[in-house]
Amino acid sequence: MTLRQIVLSVNDRDHEVWVLPSDTLLDVLHDELGMADVRYGCGEGVCGTCTVLLDGEPVNGCLTLALQAAGRQVTTLRGLMGPGEAMHPLQECFLRRGASQCGFCTPGMVLTALDLVRRRGQPSREEIRYALVGNLCRCTGYTKILDAVEEYVGQAAADAPGEVPS
Amino acid sequence: MVASAFEYVAAGSYDEAVRLLADGGDEAKILAGGQSLMPMLNLRLAHPELLIDINMADERQPSVADGMLRLPALTRHRVLLEHDLVRRHCPLLAEAVRHVGNVRVRNRGTVGGSLAHADPTSEIGSCALATGAHVAVRGPDGDRTVPVSELFVSYWTTALAESEIITDVLIPVGRPRQGWSFHEMVRRTSDFAIVAVAAMVELNERADTIAATRVALAGVADRVTLADPELLAGLAGRTLTGSTGDEAADAAAARIAGSLEPSADVHASGDYRRRLVRVLTARALREAYAHAAGAAA
Q: How confident is the model over A104-155, as pLDDT tens digits?
A: 999 999 999 999 999 999 999 999 999 999 999 999 999 999 999 999 999 9
Nearest CA in chain A to B101: A134
Rounded to the nearest angstrom, the minimum Cα separation between A145 and chain B is: 17
- Pairing type for strands B142-147 and B134-139 reads antiparallel
CA of B191: which chain A residue's CA is closest? A46
Chain B residue closest to A52 (CA)? B104
Q: CATH 3.30.390.50 in chain B: give the residue spans.
A: 178-296
B102 interaction partners in chain A (CB closer than 8 Å): 45-46, 48, 133-135
Inspect the interface and report whether the beta carbons of B38 and A45 lie closer than 8 Å: yes
For domain B178-296, which architecture applies? Answer: 2-Layer Sandwich (3.30)
Q: Which CATH class is domain B63-172?
A: alpha beta
pLDDT digits (tens, 9 = 90+) for B14-36: 999 999 999 998 899 999 999 99
Q: Would you say how long chain A is, in residues?
A: 166
User: Please, are residues A137 and A109 in contact by the beta-carbon 8 Å criterion?
Assistant: yes
pLDDT of residue A166: 52
Beta bridge partners of B196: B184, B218
Show the domains of chain A with their CATH numbers: 4-79 (3.10.20.30), 83-159 (1.10.150.120)
The pLDDT, as a whole number, for residue A156 is 84
Which of A31, A54, A65 to probe by mutation at the B interface, max B CB count within 10 Å? A65
pLDDT at residue B83 tops 90:
yes
Three-class secondary structure assignment of A116-132: HHHHHCCCCHHHHHHHH
Interface residue A61 vs chain B (CB under 8 A): no
Q: Which amino acid is at B121?
A: T
Distance CA A1, CA A22 (A): 9
Q: Which residue is closest to B9 within chain A, CA to CA?
A: A21
d(CA B288, CA B198): 9
What is residue A1's predicted lDDT score, i.e. its pLDDT? 72
In contact, B108 and B206? CB cutoff 8 Å: no
B3/chain A closest Cα distance in angstroms: 7
- Is the pLDDT assigned to residue A164 strictly greater than 70? no
The angle subtended at Cα A156 by Cα A151 and Cα A161, nearest 5°, is 130
**pLDDT tens, residue by residue, B242-260:** 999 999 999 999 999 999 9
**Phi, psi values for residue B71, rounded to 5°:** -105, 110
- Confidence band for A157, pLDDT divided at 50, 70 and 90: confident
Nearest to A112 by CA among A28, A49, A68, A156: A49
The answer for B 173-192 residues in CB contact with A (under 8 A) is 188-190
State how far the Cα of B101 lies from the Cα of B201, in Å rounded to an integer. Answer: 27
DSSP states along A54-122: ETTEEEEGGGSBHHHHTTSEEE-GGGGS-GGGPPPHHHHHHHHHT--SS-SSHHHHHHHHHHHHHHHSS
Helix, strand or coil, per DSSP, at residue A11? coil
What average pLDDT does the structure give for chain B? 96
- Determine the pLDDT at residue A129: 97
pLDDT band at B238 (very low <50, low <70, confident <90, very high): very high
- What 3-state class would DSSP assign to A46? coil
What pLDDT, on the 0 to 100 scale, is given for residue A158?
85
For B66, left (φ over 0), alpha (ψ -120 to 50), or beta?
Answer: left
The CATH 3.30.43.10 portion of chain B extends over 7-53
pLDDT at B39 over 60: yes
Full strand arrangement of the beta sheet holding A4-10: A13-19, A4-10, A73-75, A51-54, A57-60
Report yes or no: A52 at the B interface, CB cutoff 8 Å: no
Read out DSSP for chain B? --PPP-EEEE-SSHHHHHHHHHHHGGGEEEESS-TTHHHHHHTTS---SEEEE-TTS-----EEETTEEEEETT-BHHHHHH-HHHHHH-HHHHHHHTTSS-HHHHHH-BHHHHHHHT-TT-HHHHHHHHTT-EEEEEETTEEEEEEGGGTEEETTEES--TT-EEEEEEEEPP-TTEEEEEEEE-SSTTSPPSEEEEEEEEE-TTSSSEEEEEEEEESSSSS-EEPPHHHHGGGTT----HHHHHHHHHHHHHHHHHH--PPP-SS--HHHHHHHHHHHHHHHHHHHHHHHHHHH-
- Second-level CATH architecture of B7-53: 2-Layer Sandwich (3.30)
Report whether pLDDT(A165) > 60.
no
Residue spans in chain B of domains classed CATH 3.30.465.10: 63-172
Residue-wise pLDDT for A55-113, tens only, equals 999 999 999 999 999 999 999 999 999 899 899 999 999 999 999 999 999 999 999 99
Residue B277 has pLDDT above 80, yes or no: yes
